[in-house]
Amino acid sequence: MRNDFLKTVQGFIAVVAMGPSSLRNQGLGVLKKAQDFCSKLNLQNYSNLNEGQFKNQLDLDTLKLIKALQLKNKPWGTARKALNLFLRESLYNKYLSKEYSLDKIEKFLEIPLDQVVSHALTKLETKGQLPKWRSLKSLDKEESGKFQEFAQELAEKEYHIARVHLDIYLWTKNR
pLDDT number for residue 74: 86
pLDDT number for residue 174: 78
pLDDT number for residue 1: 60
pLDDT digits (tens, 9 = 90+) for 133-146: 999 999 999 999 99
Domain boundaries, the chain: 3-107, 115-174
Let me know how many helices (H) and strands (E) the chain has, helices first. 8, 0
Contact 30, 23 (CB under 8 A): yes
pLDDT number for residue 28: 76
Contact 133, 122 (CB under 8 A): yes
175 residues of the chain, pLDDT tens digit each: 677 999 999 999 999 999 888 888 777 789 999 999 999 999 999 998 999 999 999 999 999 999 999 887 889 999 999 999 999 999 999 999 999 999 999 999 999 999 999 999 999 998 888 999 999 999 999 999 999 999 999 999 999 999 999 999 998 887 7
- Report the residue count for the chain: 175
Q: Say whether 120 sits in a helix, a strand or coil.
A: helix
Report CA 45 to chain centroid distance, whole Å. 16
CA distances from 3 to 17, 51, 93, 144, 146 (A): 21, 28, 16, 35, 38
pLDDT number for residue 72: 78
Q: How much is the pTM?
A: 0.95
CA pair distance 46, 87, nearest whole angstrom: 9
pLDDT number for residue 24: 83
* Measured torsion, CA atoms of residues 135, 76, 45, 171, in degrees rounded to the nearest 10: 0
Contact 35, 14 (CB under 8 A): yes
**Amino acid making up residue 43:** L
pLDDT number for residue 2: 76
**Amino acid making up residue 35:** Q
Report CA 98 to chain centroid distance, whole Å. 19
CA pair distance 153, 163, nearest whole angstrom: 8
